[in-house]
């Protein structure tokens, strides 16, 4: 469980970093950039993953997802 939570935090941090460095508001472009940052192939980018990353974008000002 801890490993899964750490992975979600890694994703959140990657989204926050991309959002801070990129002015693009296109969800699929965000998706590709975050996947690249995570070392994953960009060809797996799809609307479902993009939607998930968009949820992280909305709270990108929070450093730690698990903090109160």
Are the CB atoms for 33 and 56 separated by under 8 Å? no
Distance CA(5)–CA(67), nearest Å, equals 12
Distance CA(26)–CA(34), nearest Å, equals 12
Sorted by where each begins, the domain ranges of the chain are 2-58
Q: Report angle CA 11, 39, 28 to the nearest 5 degrees.
A: 65
Distance CA(64)–CA(40), nearest Å, equals 22
pLDDT category at 68 given cuts 50, 70, 90 is low
Enter the pTM of the model. Answer: 0.84
Q: What is the pLDDT of residues 10-41, one digit of tens each?
A: 999 999 999 888 776 789 999 999 999 999 99
Q: What is the pLDDT of residues 40-61, one digit of tens each?
A: 999 999 999 999 999 998 888 8
């Amino acid at each position: 469980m801890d490993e899964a939570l750490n992975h979600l935090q890694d994703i959140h941090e990657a989204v926050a970093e991309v959002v801070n460095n990129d002015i693009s508001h296109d969800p699929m472009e965000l998706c590709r950039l975050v996947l690249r940052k995570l070392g994953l192939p960009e060809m797996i980018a799809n609307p479902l993953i993009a939607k998930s990353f968009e949820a992280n974008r909305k709270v990108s000002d929070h450093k730690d997802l698990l903090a109160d």
